[in-house]
């Protein structure tokens, strides 16, 4: 049952374009006691069908800029091969620390983005008055 809930939540977040794989790795590690390497490998398997479903919906709604997406995909494939090679050679402790650092950086960026949005909105509201 835990895996069903984890997959469902990660799929929704991934479908929204907000990093369902990151959530999947975190949830598998925390609630299913899955080792980091296994969680990351499971994320790769999870990502393919979840992405195909999201791609179909986004194409149908004309929400993909192919001129931007194709080069990103090509270089992303190269980066993925390099990243997978590096992570498979790391010990689990180092990999967990890297993943934790990544989550902290994402959190800081999100907080900064919300703060910047708040400041812009406040400035805009003050200029209207």
Per residue in 59-104, pLDDT (tens digit) is 999 999 999 999 998 998 999 899 889 988 999 899 889 888 988 9
Residue 106 · residue 22 · CB < 8 Å: yes
- Tens digit of pLDDT for each residue in 5-53? 888 888 888 777 777 778 888 888 888 888 888 888 888 888 888 888 8
pTM, 2 dp: 0.62
What does the block give as tokens for 108? 């800081």
Reading the block at residue 15, the tokens are 């479908």
Percent helix, strand, coil in the chain, to 5, is 85, 0, 15
- 121, exposed or middle or buried, with CB in 10 Å at 0-12, 13-18, 19+? exposed
Nearest one of 29, 30, 27, 38 to 5, comparing CA atoms: 27
pLDDT per position as a tens digit, 97-121: 988 898 899 889 989 998 999 888 8
């Amino acid at each position: 049952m835990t895996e069903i809930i984890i997959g469902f939540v990660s799929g929704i977040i991934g479908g929204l374009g907000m990093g369902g794989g990151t959530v999947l790795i975190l949830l598998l590690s925390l609630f299913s006691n899955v080792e980091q390497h296994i969680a990351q490998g499971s994320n790769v398997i999870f990502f393919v069908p979840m992405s195909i479903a999201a791609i179909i919906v986004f194409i149908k709604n004309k929400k993909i800029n192919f001129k931007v997406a194709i080069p990103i995909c090509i270089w992303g494939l190269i980066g993925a091969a390099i990243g997978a090679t590096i992570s498979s050679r790391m010990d689990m402790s180092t990999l967990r620390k890297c993943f934790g650092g990544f989550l902290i950086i994402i959190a800081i960026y999100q907080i900064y983005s919300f703060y910047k949005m708040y400041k812009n909105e406040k400035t805009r509201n003050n200029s209207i008055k």
